[in-house]
Amino acid sequence: MEVENAVNQARKEVEQRYDFKDVGADVSLSGETIMIKANTEERALAVLDVLQSKFIKRGMSLKVLDSGEPYPSGKETRIESKLKEGIDQATAKKLNKLIRDEGPKSVKSQIQGDELRVSSKSRDDLQATMALLKGADVDTALQFVNYR
């Protein structure tokens, strides 16, 4: 829902800004893909910058976006951005190993599909694990849900 709102806000700003008039700039969302169109590569990158600023304003991580390189398509330039959802297996294994090596001993972690489930009886241990994962250098946006 937040992604849809950010794309709609970016589209409205692109339509209203004077520097995007008559350049064919457009942002559209279809499924898991965001398509950015403009008549030059510089304008397409500027539209991508507007989209990224809207993501930041809505409190979303830019790690969710997997933006490709600008490519020409007819008379316009396009940028295709895919949305990442879940954690891939390699990243999940890396995080699982990090929790086992550096996390509190009472914390248990297991990979379930595209998520990593971390459980413990102590809230303090869970908070320490969350701080450890936030400090880790991971190329995926981390989201913590169902904290009990």
CA–CA distance, 48 with 56 (Å, rounded to integer): 12
β-bridge mates for residue 118, sequence order: 109
Q: How far is CA 17 from the centre of its chain?
A: 25
Percent of the chain residues past pLDDT 90, beyond the cut: 17
List domains and CATH numbers for the chain.
Answer: 2-83 (3.30.70.990), 89-135 (3.30.70.860)
What are the φ/ψ torsions at residue 111 (nearest 5 degrees)?
A: -90, 125
Q: List, for residues 29-43, the tens digit of each pLDDT value.
A: 988 899 999 998 899
Backbone angles phi, psi at 121, to 5 degrees: -85, -25
pLDDT of 148 over the 70 cut = no
| Average confidence score pLDDT of the chain | 87
At residue 147, the pLDDT reads: 65
**Which whole number is the average pLDDT over 86-110?**
87
Q: For residues 20 and 14, is the Cβ–Cβ distance under 8 A?
A: yes
Beta bridge partners of residue 79, listed in sequence order: 36
Its pTM stands at 0.73
Output the pLDDT for position 89: 87
3 state DSSP class of 80: strand
How far is residue 78's CA from residue 139's CA, in Å, rounded to a whole number?
24
Average pLDDT over residues 83-104: 86
| Inter-residue contact 46 to 39 (CB < 8 Å) | no
Instruction: Please compute the mean of the pLDDT values over residues 81-94 and round it to a whole number.
Output: 86
